[in-house]
Amino acid sequence: MHESDCRQWLALAECAGRLAVLKSTPAVNPPLPNFVLIGFMGSGKSSIGRLIAGRLGYRFVDTDALVVRRAGQEIVDIFATHGEAHFRDLETAALESLAGEAHCVIATGGGIVVRERNHALLRRLGFVVLLTATEDVIFERVSRNSKRPLLQTANPRATISEMLAARAPLYEAAAQWMLDTSDLSHREAAEALIAEARRFFSCESAR
Ligand code: S3P
């Protein structure tokens, strides 16, 4: 990242709570100044992401919402009519469409790490943070919402357990930092993430 870009990012980060004027920058390598949140369903990506975006005056982007908008169909209907593989294609396309965006908090769908080619796309976009939570907390959180097609099984608790075990190495491979949100309020998690992102981007600029 260019030093000036980094300084601008840090200045924006200092403006927590105020509305900042944002600009898009062309795609660069090392990563753009975005927060990229990955993690299992119910790990807090959307709630915490919205809070960070509000604090920094960043734009909040949700890859699930992008997929729905681009497909003109709800996720549950995409899975039902076209299957999971098609949904994954749309998810990768949504991620690709974000290339070059800056000053965004990007919450991703819980399965984004399943396609390994997405890992490089995530890294190129910014600081990739894995949000985790215990199995109990995840089960409790996702039980409030019945819209997730992959959890419409006879035993959602067992499904969560199996999926978590299968995905754990993928999440860890994709992430640059991780935060357990089980015992944190959304505000505490957002603050920890903002603090860590400042360190991350200042180290990147020193390279
Ligand atoms: C999925 C997670 C969902 C959504 C889709 C598939 C997954 O997103 O992308 O239902 O494979 O874990 P959230 O993590 O936002 O619930």
What is the CATH classification number for the domain harbouring 112? 3.40.50.300
- Low-confidence winner among 21-30, 96-105, 184-193, 194-203 (lowest mean pLDDT): 21-30
pLDDT (0 to 100) of residue 202: 83
Q: Which two tokens stand for residue 103?
A: 């000053």
Confidence band, pLDDT 50/70/90 cuts, at residue 120: very high
> Which atom of ligand 1 is found nearest the CA of 62?
15
Q: Over the stretch 2-51, which tens digit does the pLDDT of each residue have?
A: 444 444 444 444 433 322 222 233 334 666 789 999 999 999 999 999 99
Q: Prior bond to 33 cis, omega within 30? A: no
Q: Over the stretch 47-88, which tens digit does the pLDDT of each residue have?
A: 999 999 999 999 999 999 999 999 999 999 999 999 999 999
42 CA to middle of ligand 1, Å?
9
Binding pocket residue ranges, ligand 1, CB within 6 Å: 41, 64, 75, 109-111, 148-150
Residue with CA at minimum distance from ligand 1 atom 3: 109
| 136 CB neighbour count, 10 Å cutoff | 11
197 CA to middle of ligand 1, Å?
24
pLDDT (0 to 100) of residue 26: 38
Average pLDDT over residues 149-173: 96
Domain that includes residue 56, residue range: 3-206
How high does pLDDT run on average in the chain?
Answer: 87
Give how many domains the chain has, as a whole number.
1
What is the model's pTM?
A: 0.85
Residue with CA at minimum distance from ligand 1 atom 15: 109
Q: Which two tokens stand for residue 165?
A: 């075990």
